[in-house]
Amino acid sequence: MGAIYVMWLRQIKKYWRSKPRMIGSLGQPILFLVALGFGLGPIFQKAGGGNYIDFLAPGIIAMSILFSAMFNGIEIIWDRQFGFLKETLVAPVQRWKIMFGRTLGGSTVSFMQGIIVFLITLAIGFRPKSAESVILAFIFMFLIALLFTALGTAIASRLTDMQAFPLIINFLIMPIFFLSGALFPLNGVPTAVKIIALVNPLSYGVDGIRAALSGMGQFSFAIDFGIMAAVTAIVLFIGTWMFSKIQL
C-alpha cells in the first residue's frame, strides 16, 4: 500500500504546484456554461425543457472531469522520455501498484477539478435538489474520474510519441462527450445516436450526476451505478495489464 500512496500523493502535488494548469483547465467549462447556458437557455425553455442551466450544469461537470482524467495519461509518456518511469519500474514494487497509485492520484485530481466546476455552477445560479444529492453526485463524479484516468493511462502505456497522444485522445474524447447527453436530451434523437449513447459509459455517469443534482435522470440510479462500476473495473484491469507490459 505504500507504493500506491506515494504515487497517489505525487499526482496530487503535481496538480497543486501547477497553477497555470489549474486555471487554464477551468476556461472551457466556464465558456460552455456561460455561452450555452445563457445563450440556449431561452430556446430550451420555450421547447418545454425547463431551466437549461439545471440540465447543462451536470454535463459540464462531467466534461471537466473527462478532459482532465484522459489527459492525465500524458504524464506517463513524459516520465518515460525523461527517465522517471524507468526509475519507478525498476523499483522492487509490483507494477499494478504503480499503475493503481497513478490512476488513483489522477482521478483524485480530476475529481477535485469537478468539485471546483460544481462550485462555479453554484455561482451562476445552479441549485442542487438537496445536500444529500450532492454526496450521491460526488460518487458518480469519482467513478467518471477513475474510469477515464484508467483509460488514458492504458492508452499512454502503449505510446512513446508525446505528439500522438493528444491526437488519439481528442479522437476519442469528443465523441464520448458530445454523444453522452451532456449538452442535449437523448429523447427523440436519431436511432444511431441513441445506440451510440447507450454504449457510451459517460452517458450513465452524466445521467447519474444529473439525476442526483437536478432530478432529470433518464435511467435508474441502479443502472447508472452498475454500468459505471462494471466498466470502470474492466478498464482498470485492462489498464493494469497493459501497464505491466511496458517496455523501457
pTM of the model: 0.88
Residue 54 near residue 214, CB atoms below 8 Å: yes
Q: What is the DSSP string of 23-61?
A: HHTTHHHHHHHHHHHHHSHHHHHHTT---HHHHHHHHHH
Residue 189 near residue 198, CB atoms below 8 Å: no
Angstrom distance (rounded) from CA 113 to CA 99: 21
Angstrom distance (rounded) from CA 148 to CA 129: 27
Residue with cell 497517489: 8
Cell numbers at residue 130, please?
438537496
In which region does residue 181 sit, left (phi positive, over 0), alpha (psi from -120 to 50) or beta (all else)? left
**pLDDT tens-digit readout, 166-186:** 788 888 889 999 999 898 888
**pLDDT tens-digit readout, 114-169:** 999 999 999 988 888 888 889 999 999 999 999 999 998 888 888 777 777 778 88
